[in-house]
Structure 1
Amino acid sequence: MKQPATYIISNDHNTVLYIGVTSNLIQRIYQHKEKIIGGFSAKYNLTKLVYFELFNDMENAIVREKRLKQWHRKWKNRLIGEVNPNWRDLYPDII
C-alpha cells in the first residue's frame, strides 16, 4: 500500500535512531530489516520500527522528516515514548 510516511527506526538497544520518509512504509522497513539498502541503517543494524506517521501527500511527509531530524535526541525519545512506551518493533502491526 502506497502512502507517504515519516518513520523512525532503531537498533535492539535503542541507542541509535534513523529518521526517514517513504511512500511505502511496509516495503521500506522490510528493506531495512533485510539490509537490502546499505548505508547508515545497515551499518548500525537499525531494523526496529519504533515510530511512524502517515500523511496524505509526500510534501508534508518530507517537511515532517526534516523537522524531526533537527530535534534533540531527548525530544525524539519523548515522541517515541508517547506512542510506543516500550519501544517495541511496530513492523508486525503494519504488515
Structure 2
Amino acid sequence: MWYVYILRSVDFPDQEYTGCTADLKQRLAAHNAGKSAHTAKFAPWNLLWYCAFPDKHKALEFEKYLKSHSGRAFASKRLLRPTPHPDRRAN
C-alpha cells in the first residue's frame, strides 16, 4: 500500500506538509527526527490525515493534487479540522 498524508507542525500550527510513502510509521518518525530537509525546522509533527492507495501512481497523483491550490482548498474544507488559533480558548 501507498499512503498520502498530511502533517501539521506542533510548534508552528500554520505549517502543514503533504507527502506520500509506502511506510507511514517510518516516514512520520523520520519527519520528527529531522531527517527531511523540507520539514526539519518545523518538527515535531502530528499526523492529521492519511489515505491508503493500492497503486503507487494513484497515490502520487493524489499527493500532487493536494499540493495544488484547489487541492489545498479541498483538504481544508473536507479533510482537516481548522488550525487552532492561539488567542482563542475553548470554553
Instruction: Tell me the TM-score range normalised by the shorter chain.
Output: 0.7 to 0.9
Give percent identity, aligned residues only: 25
Equivalent in the alignment of 2:58:
60
Contact 1:9 1:18 in 2 (8 A): yes
TM-score normalized by the length of structure 1: 0.72
Q: Which has the larger radius of gyration?
A: 2
Structure with more of its chain in helix, by fraction: 1
SS of corresponding position for 1:40: coil
Residue pair 1:18, 1:46 contacting (<8 A) in 2 also: no
Partner of 1:51: 49
Structure 1 segment 15-94 matched on structure 2, within 5 A: 15-35=14-34, 37-45=35-43, 47-72=45-70, 73-81=72-80, 85=81
In structure 2, the gaps of 5 or more residues are: 84-91
Per-residue displacement from partner, 1:36-82 (whole Å, max 9, x unpaired)?
A: x131211222511101110001111000000000035443222333x
Q: CA RMSD in A?
A: 2.0
Unaligned runs of 5+ in 1: 88-95
Q: Runs (4+) of structure 1 moved beyond 4 Å?
A: none
Letter in 2 for 1:16: Q
Equivalences, count: 81
Instruction: Name the one with the larger strand percent.
Output: 2
Q: Partners of 1:74 and 1:63 in 2: how far apart?
A: 17
